[in-house]
Structure formats: C-alpha cells, structure tokens
C-alpha cells in the first residue's frame, strides 16, 4: 500500500465541501505538504472514522495478536468505561462566533505542535506489523505529531524528523543512579525531547485473553510464530498463566526515583498513569513537567473507571502548575474536545493508530491522525471555539 496523501486530502476536501465553515477547518488542518489533485480511490481512504480500522486490522491478524491489541485486563471494565464515560459529558456549543479559521496549534514544553493529539507508547508492535516501531515513527513524523516511542528507532531519530519522547517503565534504566545517568545521557544525544515515565505497569496485569491464548510476551518483539497445517502454534516458551504470584527482583520506583531522575536531566519528564488528585499534586510538587491521566487503555488495574472521569480531579489538583494530558478510548473529535474542555492540554491515542498500522502500515497511521485531527477541527468550528484557548470548562457539562 503506497501512501497517497494527495488522495487523502482530496477526498477529505470533497467530503466536506458543502460548508464554508468546514472548508476553513480543513484548510487549517491540511498538512503543509498536501496538494489535492488525485482521485480518491485509495483503500486507506475507505474508513469513515478511526473505528473502521479495527475490523480491517482484525481480519489481518492472528487471533492472539488481535486479543493482545484489543483486550484489557480481568473484567475489561476499565476498557469499557474509557468509552462509556464520554457519553456522560455533553458539549455546550456557542453560536455567532467567527470560526472561519480553526486553529488546533498548541505548545508543550516549548515545542510547537500543529494539533493536540499524540501517539502513545505501545510495546509489541512487531506482532502487528513488521518493524512496527519504525513505521509508526515515520508516520508520526509525516503527520507532524508527537510520538512517545518505546525505542529502537535510531534511523528515524538520525533523520532528525518529528518530535519524540522516550517512554520508560520499570526497566533496567531506573535501577540505580549510574544506570539512570547513562540512560538520560544517551537520550540527550538521541534527539529525544522528553521522557514519559509509565507508572502503572509495575506488574503486568491478569489478562484472561492472553492467558487463554497462551500468549508469549516475546512474540510482541518477534512476531507471532507461524501456525502448522492444523492451525496449531508452536508451544510458547513462556506463556502468560493464571495464578503466578507477583514479585519483582528489585524494589519498584518511588517518588524518590522521580526526584533523582529530575535531578539528572533537563528534559521534560511526564508521568503516565496518574488517576488521582493525590498523585497529581505530588507530581507537581516533585518537579515533574506534566502528567498523563491514563489507565493504560484498560490493560492494567481494572475497575479504575474511565480516564475522563479522573480528569477533573487531576486538573484541579495541579492548580495549573503543569499540563495535564490524557489517554484512554479517544476515538472521535468530540471525545478530544470534551477532554480539552475539562482541562486537558492534549490527548494521546494508541489502539486507533495501531489498527491503522496493522491495516495499512504507515499510510494507515497517518490517515488515523488525519481523521482525528480533522474531526476535532470540525467539532471545534461547530462548537464555536476557533482555537484551543477558546475552550474552557464551560465548553462541556457533565450530565
Ligand atoms: C498493544 C498495546 C501496547 C501498549 N504498550 C504500552 C507500553 O509499552 N507502555 C505504555 O506506557 N503504555 C502502553 N500501552 C498503553 C497505551 O500507551 C495507552 O495508555 C492506551 O492504550 C491508550 O488507550 P487507547 O488504546 O484506548 O487509545 C499499550 C497499549 C496497547 C494497546
């Protein structure tokens, strides 16, 4: 599948040509490189919304890989709540505001962003698409979106394209001062512009789907092995199992770790996985640059509610000292508008771009970003908020 960005833009413009307001929104969101001229016959343009990429991705994947991607933990209640919670928030549109130009641009830690939608870190991309991390990094750079990478993308980094943050979890990098120091030094020299420290995966959660499938985490890196003629997979060397008591070989990170990391680098540090006012306040007190309200896409601790439900308390707790980002279930421009109204500075997505990746490779990721970005611009134009500064708590109401 060859990227046909010109087709993408052409069809987008054709779709919305009826309204001058909408034309203006599209003009504002159109990538600088786009020159609409070719007919819209590219299959990547078929999906009407980002949800339409999921069945296309499912059709291409081994069931194991699909379950790894789509699934959540235990009862999958948080996974469902991430979507369901948006229905409890309604938008309060204003009228007779000049919206002939809709501007999505924003700034995060001194970095200018064309629009407030980031690509979340996601491990295991190789069981979805070959060399997935690099493909996503290239797509993010083309879409001018900030990508939080899991690493291994040296070539893209060397090309100097696209803003990048590096994610870190409980890995060896944080084991002690020496390892932390060496790691941040390496990041500085790799063109990284921020660190995303994921906090909610001190243990990998209980995921029924993976356990039933005897999923082996290493397949996330190597790809799912070929099935034999009877459709059987080779035995997983290290299958996920129920009933394994959790333990880790060394102490897990604490606020002391955050303070130490803070003292070792000037890079922005963003904590991902904050769900309470208490931790949000501690983040602000400990010199953290920003937080991401996240439940890991419903993949870690279950029954924590939808992330948008936690957003107001986190926003209140940081008292405007640091930006609050959010992820979890964002599939529509209106979802993003609701989060911005409740005080988020930007939103991050994972599964939508992973479905786009699986279905179409790089063009799929780019198209997902384009659809969300355009929907957001349209929704802002229709809600009478021509730029991000015009969005505030009064733009939304919780039922
Ligand atoms: C397949 C997959 C792998 C993920 N791997 C990581 C990871 O390595 N680190 C991390 O911080 N979050 C990871 N996440 C969580 C996402 O970064 C993000 O918090 C969440 O998926 C957002 O919700 P959404 O998928 O509904 O957009 C992963 C999510 C998925 C779907």
What's the pLDDT at 38? 52
Q: Please write the tens of the pLDDT for every residue from 204-254.
A: 999 999 999 999 999 999 999 999 999 999 999 999 999 999 988 888 999
Q: What is the pLDDT of residue 157?
A: 73
For residue range 173-203, what is the model confidence (pLDDT) as tens digits? 888 888 888 888 888 777 788 899 999 999 9
Q: Is residue 137 part of a domain?
A: yes
Q: Point out the ligand 1 atom lying closest to the alpha carbon of residue 349.
A: 27
For residue 168, what pLDDT is reported?
Answer: 72
Contact 73, 207 (CB under 8 A): yes
Q: Quick one: which atom of ligand 1 is closest to the CA of 220?
A: 1
* Number of domains present in the structure of the chain: 1
Task: Tell which residue, 54, 86, 82, 59, has the closest CA to residue 70.
Answer: 54
Q: Would you say the CB of residue 167 lies under 6 angstroms from ligand 1? A: yes
Check: CB of residue 291 under 8 Å from CB of residue 305: no
In a domain, 32, yes or no: no
200 C-beta closer than 6 A to ligand 1 = no
Write b or e for each residue in 185-197: b if 16 or more Cβ atoms lie within 10 A of its Cβ, otherwise e. Answer: eebeeebbbbbbb
| 309 Cα–ligand 1 center, Å | 18
Q: How far is CA 373 from CA 169, 236, 349, in A?
A: 29, 40, 12
Count of residues making up the chain: 399
Q: Which two tokens stand for residue 157?
A: 């980094």
Domain-located, residue 244: no
Catalogue the active-site residues.
296
HEC readout, the chain? CCCCHHHHHHHHHHHCCCCHHHHHHHHHHCCCCCCCCCCCCCHHHCCCCHHHHHHHHHHHCCHHHHHHHHCCCCCCHHHHHHHHHHHHEEECCCCCCCCCCCECCEEECCEEECCCEEECCCCCHHHCCCCHHHHHHHHHHHCCCCEEECCCCHHHHHCCCCCEEEEECCCHHHCCHHHHHHHHHHHHHCCCCCEEEECCCCCCCCCHHHHHCCCECCHHHHCCCCCCCCCCCCCCCCECCCCCCCCCCCCCCCHHHHHHHHHHCCCCEEEEEECCHHHHHHHHHCCCCEEEECCHHHCCCCCCCCHHHHHHHHHHHHCCCCCEEEECCCCCHHHHHHHHHCCCCEEEECHHHHHHHHHHCHHHHHHHHHHHHHHHHHHHHHHCCCEHHHCCHHHEEEC
Domain-located, residue 299: yes
Atom number of ligand 1 nearest to Cα 128: 1
155: domain CATH number is 3.20.20.70
Give domain status of residue 37, yes or no: no
CB-ligand 1 contact for 125 (6 Å cutoff):
no
* Domain carrying residue 284: 52-224+250-398
The predicted pLDDT at position 230 comes to: 94
Rg of the chain on CA atoms, in Å: 21
Residue 18 falls within a domain, yes or no? Answer: no
Tell me whether residue 14 is in a domain: no
State how far the Cα of 256 lies from the Cα of 259, in Å rounded to an integer. Answer: 5
Is 133 close to ligand 1, i.e. is its CB under 6 Å away?
A: no
As a whole number of angstroms, the distance between CA 116 and CA 310 comes to: 19
- What tokens were used for 95? 């009228």
Cβ proximity of 8 and 368 under 8 Å: no
Distance from residue 133's CA to the centre of ligand 1 (Å): 13
Beta bridge partners of 117: 347
| Predicted structure pTM score | 0.91
What does the block give as tokens for 11? 């069809």
What parts of the chain have a pLDDT lower than 70? 1-39, 160-163, 169-170
**What confidence score (pLDDT) does residue 259 get?**
96
- Closest residue by CA, ligand 1 atom 3: 122
Q: What pLDDT score does 185 carry?
A: 84
Cβ of 331 below 6 Å from ligand 1: no
CB of 209 closer than 6 angstroms to any ligand 1 atom? no
Q: Is residue 283 part of a domain?
A: yes
């Amino acid at each position: 599948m060859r990227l046909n960005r010109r087709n993408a833009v052409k069809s987008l413009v054709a779709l919305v040509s009826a309204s001058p307001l909408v034309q203006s929104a599209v003009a504002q969101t159109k990538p600088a490189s786009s020159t609409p001229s070719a007919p819209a016959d590219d299959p990547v343009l078929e999906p009407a919304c980002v949800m339409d990429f999921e069945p296309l991705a499912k059709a291409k994947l081994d069931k194991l890989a699909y379950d790894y991607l789509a699934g959540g933990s235990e009862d999958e209640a948080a996974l469902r709540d991430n979507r369901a919670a948006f229905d409890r928030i309604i938008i309060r549109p204003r009228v007779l505001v000049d919206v002939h130009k809709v501007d999505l641009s924003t700034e995060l830690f001194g970095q200018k962003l064309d629009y407030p939608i980031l690509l979340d870190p996601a491990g295991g991309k190789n069981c979805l698409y070959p060399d997935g991390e690099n493909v996503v990094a290239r797509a993010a750079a083309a879409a001018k979106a900030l990508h939080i990478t899991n690493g291994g993308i040296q070539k893209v980094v060397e090309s100097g394209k696209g803003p990048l943050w590096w994610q870190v979890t409980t890995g060896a990098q944080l084991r002690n001062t020496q390892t932390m120091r060496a790691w941040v030094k390496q990041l500085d020299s790799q063109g990284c512009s921020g660190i995303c420290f994921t906090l909610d995966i001190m243990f990998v959660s209980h995921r029924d789907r993976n356990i039933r499938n005897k999923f082996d985490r290493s397949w996330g890196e190597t790809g799912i092995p070929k099935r034999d003629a009877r459709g059987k997979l080779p035995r997983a060397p290290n299958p996920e199992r129920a009933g394994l008591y959790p333990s880790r070989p060394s102490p897990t990170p604490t606020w002391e770790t955050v303070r130490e990391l803070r003292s070792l680098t000037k890079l922005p540090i963003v904590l991902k996985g904050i769900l309470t006012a208490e931790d949000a306040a501690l983040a602000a007190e400990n010199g953290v640059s920003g937080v991401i309200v996240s439940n890991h896409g419903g993949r870690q601790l279950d029954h924590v509610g939808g992330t948008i439900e936690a957003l107001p308390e986190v926003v209140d707790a940081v008292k405007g000292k640091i930006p609050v980002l959010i992820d979890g279930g964002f599939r529509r421009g209106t979802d993003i508008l609701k989060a911005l109204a409740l005080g988020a500075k930007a939103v991050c997505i994972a599964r939508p771009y992973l479905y786009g990746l699986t279905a179409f490779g790089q063009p799929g990721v780019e198209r997902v970003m384009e659809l969300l970005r355009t929907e957001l611009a349209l929704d802002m134009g229709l809600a009478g908020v021509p730029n991000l500064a015009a969005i505030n708590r009064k733009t939304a109401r919780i039922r």
